[in-house]
A and B are shown apart, each in its own frame.
Chain A
Amino acid sequence: MTTRRFATVPSATRRQFLAYSGAVAAALTAAGCSAPPGAATATRPSASSGARLTKIGLDYPFTQLPLYSTLVKLSTAGAKKHGASLLTTNDGANADTQASNLTTWVARKVPAIVSFPMVFEATEAIAKAALDAGLIWVTYGGSLEHQSADIQFSFRKGGTLLGTAAAKWAAEQLGGKGKIAFLTDSTIELGRERTKGMIDAFTELAPGVDVVAQEQAIDPDTGLAKTQAILAKHPDLNLVLGVTDAAAYGGFKALQQAGRKKDDARTFVGGQDGSAPSLVAIKQGTFYRASAALAPDDIAHAIVEVPRAVAAGKADPGVEVPIALVGPGDTAAIDDLLAQNG
């Protein structure tokens, strides 16, 4: 298994945003999350350049995700170290509410805004207004034409890491034969990128493994139900790869309920996100064998440091948050991630 401890990975695309799990897809789908394909980034120095930041506004719309609480906690602590306070919005995964909250912040002249746009096109005008007002605008999970800097993520890379590890395992443990089911997401750009990375890497490296199903599932309930149905048709299913850890965890439970031993040597489940239940399952040596994980510390660090770097007038202040695959041998990395998740 290829394992890397949060090494920086090359940029894959500008339409990337943060790890997610659970039933957020419906809200995201309705909002159509993605940066416009042709969005050309033109960063602009802010009037706040050189000034000390006393407030940083974090606009993260998916407040229902566990990651949100973790990021707020870590970013608040990070901001406090520099004498700044962290403001937050309650967008409720609603693009209209997000636009309203951001407009209010611009009117209130919050000096630095870090925003994860639900609809990139719709946020462009607000970002421009923020820059025109001399505020710092940091785009999270993509790029806008009007921004001071951005925080990028490589989601296709996460899928590729997982698909590659699973293909390698299939070659070693199954002689390159077997059956795989993918729990995918085709509703939002992030999901499509993760899905493509995962499927492309696996099918290219393990052409002898039959792909018996590709089912939409991002939450554990759906992952459980879909895998149960797939198992009815293919009881000898060997691998389940998930676009999220939450969905893959549902598949993990479905396989166990079908009588598969927790440490079955001919079964592989893997997901993406680095969510706590999955990390624990990996650490315990079960057949949940891999997760492509983002470190909350890295993200929170970027949320605080990128606007500070812009304020300090640093050149090219944007960052790409690294993603890495963790497996059963990465106990220290798993412990570190679990500690970061609180």
Chain B
Amino acid sequence: MTAADSVLTRPRLVASGGLTTLRRQPLIVVLGVMVAAFQLSTGSFLDPANLRGIATDAATLAIVAVPSALLVISGYLDLSVGSTLALGGLVGGWLAGQGQSPVVAVLGALAAGAAVGAVNGVLCCYFGLSAFIVTLGMLTAVRGLAQQLFPLPLSGFGTGFAWLGGARIAGLAAPVVVAALVLAAGALFLALTPAGRHVFAIGVNREAAHLSGIDVRRTPFALFVITGVAAALAGAIKASVLDSVVAGTSGSGFELAVLTAVLVGGVALTGGSGSILGVLLGVLFLGCLQNGLTLLDVPTFWQQMAQGSALVAGAALAYFAPRAAR
């Protein structure tokens, strides 16, 4: 092929690649239609202030959804992220409240998350216990630990810690920048590293992966630890944004939001397939839906029905559309 041929065929290739992406990620179309509908009906959905609000809200979900998606792709899952988020926020907030520097506070939170993730990882990857049972148990146990350690609400963490949730970096809220970095890291990890390919291989067939020389314990163990760290980071960010955290209620139900975003984003619960682009779309789908329904003044119970129906429809589309395309 000559250089001229290459230039002539590139747009076609790009168009074809775009179509393929649309076929693989039908949620792009759904999201586009939803955004257009919300904008037309409210007139304020695409206002910069509103978009900033959606992005900031969605950031913590994205930070946890990315490593959670990697875990699901590798055939595991982590249901303890809601409680880990609370523990991370409490440890970070408490350290900040004790006068520690924000860096120490955040590192303390991350250490707490890593510890939870390591326990999950050891029990699931090295002892072979069911990830569903282990992380469900940890969801309760970590919540109990958090309430025992911090029975009363914490607040007033100081201006240094507030930076984590309130600072602007190049015009973007700090949590959004962190989420963007996590998304980019997740995508690069999956696409460009051998370990990323191992994640898929383990998820498709653990035994075959083992026979191929892949360490089927170390990679998922690392993902459990990273998921714990990410949940704790999200907790620290939430504590910073709200300048308060309550052990009993912080992050309650968050694990379901994460799992929903991951599954709506097209990651197979059975493992072996999924993408970070899909996770991003799942996170944005949830964020835009909740925000749009609020802007439309939809009554509470109708909002719940609409959210539930949209989630089922989105998940069905993510599941069936790629098959139809084949």
Tell me, yes or no, whether B100 is within 8 Å of chain A by CB.
no
B166 touches A246 (CB 8 A): no
Q: How far is the CB of B298 from chain A (nearest CB, A)?
A: 10
A233 touches B44 (CB 8 A): yes
A200 to B317, CA, bound (A): 44
Interface residues of A in 126-162 (CB under 8 A from B): none
Interface residues of A in 228-276 (CB under 8 A from B): 228-233, 235, 246, 249-250, 253-254, 257-258, 275-276
Of the candidate stretches B110-118, B225-233, B239-247, B261-269, the one touching chain A is B239-247
- Secondary structure dominating the interface of A: helix
A21 to B153, CA, bound (A): 11
Interface residues of B in 41-63 (CB under 8 A from A): 42, 44-45, 47, 49-50, 53, 56-57
A220 touches B152 (CB 8 A): no
B248 touches A232 (CB 8 A): no
A219 to B295, CA, bound (A): 19
Q: Which residues of B contact A26 (CB under 8 A)?
A: 252-253
Least CB separation from B82: chain A residue: A23
Least CB separation from B43: chain A residue: A233
A277 touches B155 (CB 8 A): yes
A66 touches B49 (CB 8 A): no
B152 touches A233 (CB 8 A): no
B57 touches A235 (CB 8 A): no
Among A219, A225, A253: residue with most chain B CB under 10 A: A225
B249 touches A64 (CB 8 A): yes
**Chain B 71-93 near chain A by CB (<8 Å), digits 1 or 0:** 00000000000000000000000
**Contacts A224-B57, A253-B242 given; 12 further ones with Cβ under 8 A?**
A22-B246, A26-B252, A64-B248, A66-B152, A68-B248, A69-B147, A69-B152, A186-B300, A229-B291, A229-B294, A253-B241, A342-B151
Give 30 A-B contacts (CB < 8 Å), ordered by A residue: A22-B252, A26-B252, A26-B253, A63-B147, A64-B247, A65-B248, A66-B247, A186-B300, A186-B301, A215-B294, A216-B300, A216-B303, A219-B249, A219-B252, A220-B242, A220-B244, A221-B242, A226-B294, A229-B295, A231-B53, A233-B295, A246-B249, A249-B242, A249-B244, A253-B243, A258-B49, A277-B153, A277-B243, A280-B155, A341-B152
